[in-house]
Amino acid sequence: MTTTTTAHTSSTINAFADGRQPLVEMRDISIAFGGIKAVDHASLELYKGEVVALLGHNGAGKSTLIKILSGAYQRDHGDIYIRGEKASIDNPRDAKRYGIETIYQTLALADNVDAAANLFLGRELRTAWGTLDDVAMEAATREVMGRLNPNFRRFKEPVKKLSGGQRQSVAIARAIHFNANILIMDEPTAALGPQETQQVADLTLELKKQGIGIFLISHDIHDVFDLADRVAVMKNGRIVGTARVEDVSKDEVLGMIILGKCPPGAIPGPGALSS
């Protein structure tokens, strides 16, 4: 990295910002579990059409921070703003109302029911009689799965019987089918082979093109470095720093993850090692 780019970075925080309003802004978020500060005064923003990779060791607090955004955890402190307006997100239903969709690391699928039931879980289509419209749900599932995974045929089987990649595509289909504008992907490729990993990467770029803001969570920077516009690194529950990928090298990001050392190309956060 040359000094010129560094200077450039510090003047304009983020190319996606451009004076625009962030899609999501998490301000000063904290949460503690039994005295342990899992997330400690973390702030992070995401813009339209931007991919932000949230990096850090296992236990750094990335999944916890993101679960606060998706409504799975309730924060102790801090505020969330969606398109500049203060959002009240107390449970997963609230988050979905704001167009926040999450693909969890565990996929969070009900293993005993089929793909369509999982895709529409909590948002079932109903007939005029108020009963489940299984045929319409299956049709929609066939349509969306046809785009994501054209070889998928096992619509009638419980998802427990599907392969890792097929299960992943069901979880992704669920996240993108409901016109998400904020997508959270927690270790989306952890269980996948190289070909399926590539598919997820292609999909990420496709969704980005549609203007969806994406949080990619990973403990491995090689998975996400090429996809991301920006990286944010967490350590011990605190943000070490954020940086545009052009402004930092992989080694520097590794230094942030491992040592908490903020390189010149990054904007230091509260968790940065004070030198």
Partner 1 sequence: MTQSTETRSEPALAQEGVVTRFLRATEIDTRLLGMVGALILISVCFHFAGILRTGNGVFLSPRNLWILLVQTSSIAVMTTGMVLIIVMRHIDLSVGSLLGVIAVIMGYAQVYVLGPWLGVGHPAIWIITILIGLSAGALLGGFHGYLIAYAGIPSFIVTLGGLIVWRGAAWAIIRGETVAPMDETFELLGGGPLDASIKATGSWILGIIVCVVIVLALYFGRKSRQKFNFPLRPMWAETFLGIVGCGITLGTVLLVNSYYFPPKLANEYAERYNIPIPEDGFLLSKGFAIPVLIAAAAAIVMTFVATRTRFGRYVYAIGGNPEAAELAGINTKRITLIMFSIMGVLAAISACISSARLNAASNALGQFDELYVIAATVIGGTSLAGGVGTIYGAILGALVMQSLQSGMTLLNFDSAYKDMAVGSVLVFAVWLDQIYRRRAN
- Interface contacts to partner 1, rule CB under 8 A: 70, 72, 91-93, 96, 102, 104, 106-113, 117, 121-124, 126, 130-132, 135-136, 138-139, 153-154, 156-158, 161
**How near is the Cβ of 199 to partner 1 at its closest, in Å?**
19
**How near is the Cβ of 36 to partner 1 at its closest, in Å?**
21
**Choice between 1 and 108, CB closer to partner 1:** 108
**How near is the Cβ of 156 to partner 1 at its closest, in Å?**
8
**Choice between 109 and 253, CB closer to partner 1:** 109
**Choice between 20 and 93, CB closer to partner 1:** 93
**How near is the Cβ of 113 to partner 1 at its closest, in Å?**
6
**How near is the Cβ of 28 to partner 1 at its closest, in Å?**
25
Going by their DSSP bridges, the two strands 36-46 and 24-33 should be labelled as antiparallel
In the chain the beta strands, taken as DSSP E runs, fall at: 24-33, 36-46, 51-55, 77-82, 85-87, 100-103, 182-186, 213-218, 230-235, 238-244, 267-268
Residue 44: count of CB within 10 angstroms of its CB: 22
Helix or strand (DSSP H, E) at 6: helix 3-11
**How near is the Cβ of 135 to partner 1 at its closest, in Å?**
5
Specify the amino acid at residue 199.
Q
Q: Cα-flanking dihedrals φ and ψ of residue 193, to 5°?
A: -80, 175
CB 53 within 8 A of CB 250: no
Tell me the C-alpha distance between 263 and 163, whole Å: 41
CB 229 within 8 A of CB 52: yes
**Choice between 10 and 112, CB closer to partner 1:** 112
**Choice between 111 and 206, CB closer to partner 1:** 111
DSSP state of 275: -
**Choice between 125 and 203, CB closer to partner 1:** 125
The separation between CA 123 and the C-alpha centre of its own chain, rounded to angstroms, equals 21
